């Protein structure tokens, strides 16, 4: 069954965990043209359509893998609905602003990261590929350790676990060194 026609959150979650790129591509190819058409008909640009659609897809991903997604129709229909709401919200926001302060881009879905988050972001970007992958795959993409063990080539779940905590410790030390003890205390 194609990802876009899935209406069972558990099946969508498993599909996203097993093959994120393929599933996101299927959803993208199926739902984005509808969102582009809607945004275009309601005063938005192609760039606006891309922004709201990607925000909607990010939201869908986080809810699906986090186990909080509730679907009453297909994933694709849900995605189009969320993107439409985001665009209407953005239109209202722009209408409230004077013309000279109209932003070039949409208001970000998530609040701006606080200072320590920026420090973590910067350090993660500079981390070795191995640590970066294991930390993001586990903490953000929510892949189970058994899957990480297989896809990253660790000998056992135990060694993947140890490696994950070594990387977390490295991240913590780096952020502490950058920030001093008052922010990341210990």
Tell me which residues touch other proteins (CB under 8 A).
20-21, 24-25, 28-29, 32, 46-47, 50, 54, 57-58, 61, 110, 113-114, 116-121, 124-125, 135-136, 139-141, 161-162, 165-166, 168-169, 171-172, 175-176, 183-186
List C-alpha distances in Å: 141 to 14, 17, 22, 97, 168. Answer: 12, 8, 15, 36, 16
For other proteins, the closer of residues 101 and 185 by Cβ is 185
- Closer to other proteins at the Cβ: 95 or 154? 154
CB of 98 to other proteins, least distance (A): 26
| CB contact at 8 A, 116 and 175 | yes
Cβ 78 vs Cβ 24: under 8 Å:
no
Q: From the CB of 102, what's the least distance to other proteins, in Å?
A: 18
Least spacing, CB of residue 177 vs other proteins, in Å: 13
Of 6 and 28, nearer to other proteins (C-beta) is: 28
Q: Provide the 8-state DSSP code for 184.
A: S
CB of 101 to other proteins, least distance (A): 22
Residue 142: CA atoms inside 13 Å, Cβ hemisphere, count? 13
For the bound state, the minimum distance from the C-beta of residue 162 to other proteins, rounded and expressed in Å, comes to: 6
Q: Give 97 or 103: the residue with its C-beta nearer to other proteins.
A: 103
CA distance 169 to 100: 46
Give the nearer residue to other proteins in terms of CB position, either 157 or 184. Answer: 184
User: In the bound complex, what is the minimum distance in angstroms from residue 150's beta carbon to other proteins?
Assistant: 20
Closest among 70, 79, 60, 59 to 9, alpha carbons compared: 70
66/97 with CB nearer other proteins: 66
- Residue by residue, what is the 3-state secondary structure of 60-101? HHHHHHHCCCCCCCCHHHHHHHHHHHHHHHHHHHHHHCCHHH
């Amino acid at each position: 069954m194609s990802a876009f026609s899935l209406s069972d959150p558990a099946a969508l979650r498993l599909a996203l965990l097993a093959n994120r790129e393929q599933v996101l591509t299927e959803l993208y190819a199926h739902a984005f043209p509808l969102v582009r058409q809607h945004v275009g008909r309601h005063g938005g640009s192609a760039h606006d359509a891309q922004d709201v659609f990607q925000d909607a897809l990010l939201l869908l991903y986080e809810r699906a893998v986090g186990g909080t997604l509730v679907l009453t129709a297909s994933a694709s229909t849900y995605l189009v609905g969320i993107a439409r709401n985001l665009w209407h919200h953005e239109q209202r926001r722009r209408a409230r602003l004077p013309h000279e302060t109209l932003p070039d881009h949409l208001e970000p879905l998530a609040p701006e990261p606080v200072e320590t988050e920026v420090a973590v972001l910067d350090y993660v970007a500079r981390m070795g590929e191995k640590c970066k992958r294991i930390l993001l795959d586990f903490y953000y993409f929510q892949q189970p350790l058994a899957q990480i063990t297989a896809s990253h080539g660790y000998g056992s779940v135990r060694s993947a676990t140890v490696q994950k905590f070594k990387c977390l410790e490295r991240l913590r030390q780096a952020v502490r060194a950058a920030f001093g003890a008052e922010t990341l205390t210990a």
